[in-house]
């Protein structure tokens, strides 16, 4: 591998591995990925894989033999609305599942291994501390050990903790989540829920089974310094919703908090020859906080733009990345209004009525009583 690769990617999570894989698919050979962790490593996340995420994983060739085999299949996910009604998803007749749940320790290693198999050089245990700038452009990255890697393009894919590598003025909606894993005897099979309870909105709680006997339960709120509120919400989730999935549940690991960076406006994804992908670009869904599909999508689009830039030398190719992501994730712009509607009781009832008449997937309901 040359000392000066064409592209350096900071982070080997879903967005970084997706970028590396698709760059190599485009014929870009000199790709170096740096990650401060050694894989497999734990990663705080609900682990839900939407149909969109599954499609992207299928593009990368890891869906059938690895992800679909390792993940817990959820053919009947449901949404608990502020009214207490639960709206279920209609099954679809294709190889994808309505939802999969896969622990990020497993998923991220699968993706990193796929990028490495395709030809990327991945160095684990290497922490990037800053971008090196010369003459108004990024010349590469510097590691904690002082080593400098020069590159034509740098991709920041280090997740929510990428602030030191972000340009000044980058805007995002910062949220804090709290999650725990519980083990017990299974009661419901093949279900998972997103809870938009009236007290929670506009954010939500989740109950995502990782297996028949292990369930990930979490909640999120907007802003910092809300540990007491998070603990109270998690207590509601555990007492009210977890018993529908597990009997005699007990905590199987320490309850932990983590930041999430989302945005209603897709902006600041390109800074000269530096591209920001996944949560480093605040591309978590601002309502559901789902980020894996956006990480995979943004990595794929970043790779296409970088490959075009390396072929032509036209800087406009890099700028096209942001516009492409905006088009694909155009629904982000409407999430602010959905969140505002959910805050109002009358608005939430109206939204529920609309969703119940959506023939594609919302077809059933039931009432959740107060705990």
pLDDT-derived band at 187 (thresholds 50, 70, 90) equals: confident
3-state SS, the chain, equals CCCCCCEEEECCCHHHHHHHHHHHHCCCCCEEEEECCCCCCCCCCCCEECHHHHHHHHHCCCHHHHHHHHCEEECEEEEECCCCEEEEECCCCCCCCCEEECCHHHHHHHHHHHHHHHCCEEEECCCEEEEEEECCEEEEEEECCCCEEECCEEEECCHHHCHHHCCCCCCCEEEEEEEEEEEEEECCCCEEEEECCCCCCCCCEEEEECCCCEEEEEEEEECCCCHHHHHHHHHHHHHHHHHHCEEEEEECCCCEEEEEEECCCCCCCEECCEEECHHHHCCECCCCCCCHHHHHHHHHHHHHHHHHHHHHCCCHHHHHHHHHHHHHCCCHHHHHHHHHHHHCHHHHHHHHHHHHCCCCCECCCCECCCC
Mean pLDDT of the 40-49 span? 91
**197-226 confidence digits (pLDDT tens):** 777 766 789 999 999 999 999 998 876 667
The pLDDT > 90 percentage for the chain reads 54
Q: What integer pLDDT is reported at residue 353 of this predicted model?
A: 79
What residue segments make up the domains of the chain, in order of their start? 7-47+103-171+264-330, 57-101+173-262+338-371
Q: What integer pLDDT is reported at residue 224 of this predicted model?
A: 66
Q: What integer pLDDT is reported at residue 278 of this predicted model?
A: 95
Q: Is the pLDDT confidence value at 272 over 70?
A: yes
260 compared with 283, residue with greater pLDDT: 283
Q: What integer pLDDT is reported at residue 368 of this predicted model?
A: 59
Residue 351 CA to residue 343 CA, distance in Å, equals 11
Residue 34 CA to residue 128 CA, distance in Å, equals 7
Residue 175 CA to residue 261 CA, distance in Å, equals 6
Helix 332-343 to helix 345-356 angle (10° resolution) is 120
pTM of the model: 0.91
Residue 248 CA to residue 324 CA, distance in Å, equals 48
The residue among 256, 200, 243 whose CA lies nearest residue 79 is: 200
> Taking CA 217 as the corner, what is the angle to CA 211 and CA 220, rounded to the nearest 5 degrees?
145
pLDDT-derived band at 366 (thresholds 50, 70, 90) equals: low
CATH of domain 57-101+173-262+338-371: 3.30.9
Q: Is the pLDDT confidence value at 364 over 60?
A: no
Residue entry with tokens 């083990």: 183
Q: What integer pLDDT is reported at residue 20 of this predicted model?
A: 98
Q: What integer pLDDT is reported at residue 107 of this predicted model?
A: 98
CATH of domain 7-47+103-171+264-330: 3.50.50.60
Q: What integer pLDDT is reported at residue 216 of this predicted model?
A: 93
Residue entry with tokens 């190599």: 24
Q: What integer pLDDT is reported at residue 2 of this predicted model?
A: 39
**315-330 confidence digits (pLDDT tens):** 999 999 999 999 999 9
Q: Is the pLDDT confidence value at 370 over 60?
A: no
Residue entry with tokens 């485009």: 26
The pLDDT > 70 percentage for the chain reads 91
Q: What integer pLDDT is reported at residue 3 of this predicted model?
A: 45
Q: Is the pLDDT confidence value at 170 over 60?
A: no
pLDDT-derived band at 169 (thresholds 50, 70, 90) equals: very low
């Amino acid at each position: 591998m040359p000392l000066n690769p064409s592209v350096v990617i900071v982070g080997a999570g879903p967005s970084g591995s997706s970028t590396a894989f698709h760059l190599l698919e485009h014929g870009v050979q000199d790709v170096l990925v740096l990650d401060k962790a050694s894989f497999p490593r734990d990663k705080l996340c609900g682990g839900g894989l939407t149909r969109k995420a599954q499609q992207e994983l299928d593009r990368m060739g890891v869906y059938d033999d690895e992800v679909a085999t390792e993940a817990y299949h959820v053919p009947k996910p449901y949404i608990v609305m502020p009214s207490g009604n639960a709206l279920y998803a209609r099954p679809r007749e294709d190889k994808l599942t309505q939802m999969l749940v896969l622990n990020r320790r497993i998923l991220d290693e699968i993706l990193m291994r796929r990028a490495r198999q395709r030809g990327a050089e991945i160095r684990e245990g290497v922490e990037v501390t800053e971008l090196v700038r010369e003459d108004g452009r990024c010349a590469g990255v510097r590691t904690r050990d002082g080593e400098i890697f020069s590159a034509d393009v740098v991709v920041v894919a280090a997740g929510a903790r990428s602030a030191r590598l972000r340009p000044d003025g980058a805007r995002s909606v910062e949220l804090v989540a709290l999650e725990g894993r519980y083990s017990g005897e299974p009661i419901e099979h093949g279900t998972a829920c997103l809870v938009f309870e009236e007290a929670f909105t506009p954010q939500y709680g989740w109950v995502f089974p990782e297996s028949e006997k292990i369930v990930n339960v979490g909640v999120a709120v907007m802003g910092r310094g809300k540990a007491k509120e998070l603990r109270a919400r998690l207590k509601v989730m555990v007492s009210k919703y977890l018993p529908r999935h597990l009997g005699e549940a007990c905590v199987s690991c320490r309850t932990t908090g983590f930041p999430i960076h989302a945005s209603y406006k897709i902006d600041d994804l390109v800074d000269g020859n530096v591209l920001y992908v996944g949560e480093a670009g605040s591309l978590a869904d601002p309502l559901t906080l789902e980020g894996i599909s956006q990480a995979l999508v943004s990595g794929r689009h970043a790779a296409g733009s970088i490959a075009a830039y390396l072929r032509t030398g036209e800087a406009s190719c890099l700028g096209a990345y942001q516009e492409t992501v905006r088009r694909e994730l155009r629904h982000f712009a409407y999430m602010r209004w959905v969140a505002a509607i959910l805050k109002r009781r009358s608005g939430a009832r109206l939204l529920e009525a609309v969703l119940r008449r959506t023939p594609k997937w919302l077809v059933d309901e039931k009432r959740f009583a107060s705990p």
